[in-house]
Amino acid sequence: MKKIILASALLASFSAFADTPQLQNLSKSQVEDVANEFAMNFSHTAVAAPETDGVWGIEVGLVAGRSASPELKKVVDQAGEDGSDFKNVYHAGLMARAHFPYELFLEASVLPEREISDVTVMARSLGLGWNLGSFFHWPVDVAVGANVSSSEIEFKQRTTVVTPDDTESKIGVESKTRVLWVGVSKTFLFFTPYAKIGKASSDSDVKTSVAGNVFGQDIAGRDSVDVKSDGSYWALGANLEFFFFKLGIETSRQADVKRTSAKFSLDF
């Protein structure tokens, strides 16, 4: 089962990169927009309601989904390629969630570093929360939480700049994201809808091995650009549980990036 889940995570993550994107002459604002799409795509989610059930519990499974990437599509079109293949970027990973006494819960997800074709990707994330609704015996679960994540993606592309050592350029995006949120949920038999709202931010470092091939005039001559983004966060989702099996679906928007994720897990 673990091998099947991991294989599914890898397939979902790389399905968007059967062809690698071509990025050329990007302005600083375009770099910021593309970096934000990658960062928020890999930000933490366990597709989990902000709830706790009993004193102890553990859940393990797979989360996968996609984010809309209109800015990436635009810059690929600008480079003379077909941007329609990159109107979405994908994420996936193994997830685990546990809750403890005093209604605390911890979430984690990981996609181990893998290289397929000309794309290398890695992501890991952590979430922590407290269900004060259950702690104070309210009729609904109300929780506060914080998520952090880090991701790295690197791909190769044709270079239009002739150098002694490079026949192709490498582009890498390293990102860290943070989300602070408040959420509410309510369980009806086997069905648990939930909603979260908060604030998201990210720090990204976009690097290239051939600066003149990627960055435009306003950032020409640089081989890396540090960018930051922040904005509102909200998520709507639901979990459906059958005995030990749990299915989940979630749609969210964070720092203007729309994302949809799904989950299959075992809950004990």
Question: What pLDDT shows up at residue 6?
Answer: 47
Give me the residues paired with residue 127 across strands: 107, 147
**Residue 128 CB neighbour total at 10 angstroms:** 14
Contact of 105 with 92, CB cutoff 8 Å: no
In tens digits, the chain (268 residues) has pLDDT values of 444 444 454 455 445 445 577 777 888 899 899 999 999 999 999 999 999 988 899 999 999 999 999 999 998 888 778 888 889 999 999 999 999 999 999 999 999 887 766 788 899 999 999 999 999 999 999 999 999 999 999 887 766 655 555 567 788 999 999 999 999 999 999 999 999 999 999 999 998 877 666 777 777 677 888 999 999 999 999 999 998 999 999 999 999 999 999 999 999 8
- Tell me the whole-structure pTM to 2 decimals: 0.88
Question: What pLDDT shows up at residue 79?
Answer: 76
| Full DSSP string of 31-86 | HHHHHHHHHHHTS------S---SS-EEEEEEEEEEEE-HHHHHHHHHTTS-GGGG
Which tokens belong to 83?
């941007």
The enclosing domain of 238 has a CATH number of 2.40.160.20
Question: What pLDDT shows up at residue 19?
Answer: 58
Domains: count for the chain: 1
Range of the domain at 43: 2-267
Measured between alpha carbons, how far is residue 232 from residues 60, 99, 235, 254 in Å? 29, 27, 10, 6
Q: What is the pLDDT of residues 204-249, one digit of tens each?
A: 999 887 766 677 777 767 788 899 999 999 999 999 999 899 999 9
Question: What pLDDT shows up at residue 143?
Answer: 98
Angle among Cα 164, 166, 170 to the nearest 5 degrees reads 155
Which tokens belong to 87?
């109107």
**Residue 155 CB neighbour total at 10 angstroms:** 19
